[in-house]
A and B are shown apart, each in its own frame.
Chain A
Amino acid sequence: MIQLFNVCKAYQRGQNALNDVTLKVDKGEFVYLTGPSGAGKSTLLKLLYCAERPTRGQILVNGRNITRYGPSRIPYLRRNLGIIFQDFKLLKRRTVFENVAFPLEVLGRKRFEISKKVYQTLKNVGLEHRLQHHPLQLSGGEQQRVAVARALVVDPLILLADEPTGNLDPEVTLDIMELFKRANARGTTIVMATHDRGLIRQFPRRIVSLDAGSLATDDLPLFRGEAGMSGYSGMTGQP
């Protein structure tokens, strides 16, 4: 589903954000991108949704080389992706319903179809009673659930999440992870950047670790079944 070949990304300051990263993520996989701040997690995700261009190397998404995608093709790539940010990036002047409906409006879906799909998706994230609220009337966890609903409403092939639980308390983090697990179970490939080791222990999946822009480790889950959902403390620690 996702392939990176010798990908480098250098910013103007001269330091490489990514160094010769080669990586393969299969369809339906759930991969954690982890590493300390500045390791290149966000840069890698940005390369996948074409917010940044690689300085060198090739990137294939769903079998297509997106490295040299022109501006006119990028929106069509993003329509197959769900993107979630730490700061939610919701439209503050729009209601919850309108926020989630927006990607479907972009796709030009009919109004009836949009209403039905949005309601269904918001029900899945447990926010069907908040349809007419504005984002700032919601808690952080609820806002992130709206962001998840917005990402999932188009049934994306790939979900890219950049520290989606970074601003949330442990309980809400569990809710969000449950939503990710369900999406993954339905076949959505998930790449999630996080430096929360506790979370990774809680929901063990493949871990791709970056350090100073280079691929440090690429491990299969070591902690599967080690701790139940109730045991998640939200603390960051070493495995």
Chain B
Amino acid sequence: MKLTKLTAFLLGSVMLGGTAHADKWSDMFPHIKNSGDIPGECSYESMSKKDYSGRKLTINTHAVPVMGEPTALHAEQFAKLTGADVNVIHTPAGDLYSKAMVPFQTGQAPYDIVFGFSQWISDWKQYLEPVPAKYVNMKQMQDVTNSHIDVNSWDGTMYQFPIDGDRHYLKYRKDVIDNPEMQAKYKAETGKELRVPQTWKEYGEIATFFNGWDWDNDGELEYGSAEVMAKDNLMFAAFFSRAVAYAKNPKTPGGFFFDLETMEPQVNNPGFVEALTDWVAATKYVPPGGINFTLGDETMSFGGGQTLFSFSWDDAFVAAMEDGSPIKNKVGAAPLPGAEKVWNRSTGKWDNEYNQAPYIVWGWTSAVAKKSKNHDMAFDYLCFFSNDANHRADIAIGRFGVNPFRKSDFDPDLYVKNQGWDPEIASEYSKTLLDMEEKSTNRVFPLRTPGVAQFTSAVATGTSKALAGQLTPQEALDEVAAEWKKIIARVGEDKLREAYAVGVALEDNLE
């Protein structure tokens, strides 16, 4: 009797002691209460052993909440654990580049850590401290998908620290596409199947059909598609997403934006022109003002239930699936539509076969300044930011903007349990993203050459002129190509080719 009681007592206290250990961190830091601290080189436990008291860390990140809120939150946690003084500044997305580049180019380093878009790597890698091997070899880094390691590295060296994943994918209203009544109606009036569009032409047809009437009975008109069309620094990515299917031909390796050998811009070839023609037609099935939609407007539009489709970053999907959203669990995810034909630049003709190509769009990333005096602290912070416990908690909070980028992220249960997603939708989401990341062989990598901002700015100007009807698609893209040639002349053809080759190698040598 006594022995049993004693054993029970001892057993109980050992168990309590054990769980008390795992709960110690989640008690102090409610953010990780679901998982507790997960052991690793950068876990809460490990960080608490470091002492950075008396040292200051300065971080430039995006506005709250996307990326901004997790940065500030983890900064607070880091400061508590290590005694460091962490300062975070928030900057709107469009200004992150200049806010980092002005100091870099004048030889200063007011920020130890900068957040930005991974496509800037070519412009700013000279100012960045490569990620030390110690961090690259950590288990949490090895879990990152290959695409994201590639997008943050240059020629084998990792310059940027992956903390987020981004991609473009198709989002659609399940309550319409999977709805038997709507399917019947669509078939009756058009003779075609209502399904997740497989090509951009199909996308356009379905969007046009559902444009301008109230198909979900909420008293408001709905429209076909919400797209990023405003002439800002993101819309060129929406254009490229539409273009890759028409222009990325697996039979013609050696460059997508340029022909690698001649450095001739490809942006005005018939593949791109076809995509731009589609896009100009899209201006007919976007909501009023859609031609001036920024990513924020697109998120509000699709996420607020105004359109049938959307296809750029995660934000719209996340907004739609938030608790309190009227269309929660009514949206689905699918790969970007392909095209029924793809341009072959070697033969100068269209190959009339189905083609699909994921556009590995750049996304949020972070980096440590070379001139910073706090490399150790900075990398520890970034590692802590993306440690298993924090990461698991972050992806469960939609507004944080932290999206899956690790192989272990693509587990539907995470979304079902933590965010209340419908299991079917969670599976569809995970599968779509994982396939794009790991399984596709016909990928396009973002343009990451010197002067990338100038190239994309030219694309934005040209395509928006076409959208506004100031020029025809061919004229607009010819203008862009001409501007690209001038930029190449300024950068230097050889220098550009060298840089572009890095990306092409990734596209062509898959694995």
Q: Do A and B come from the same complex?
A: no
Point out residues on A near B: beta carbons under 8 Å: none
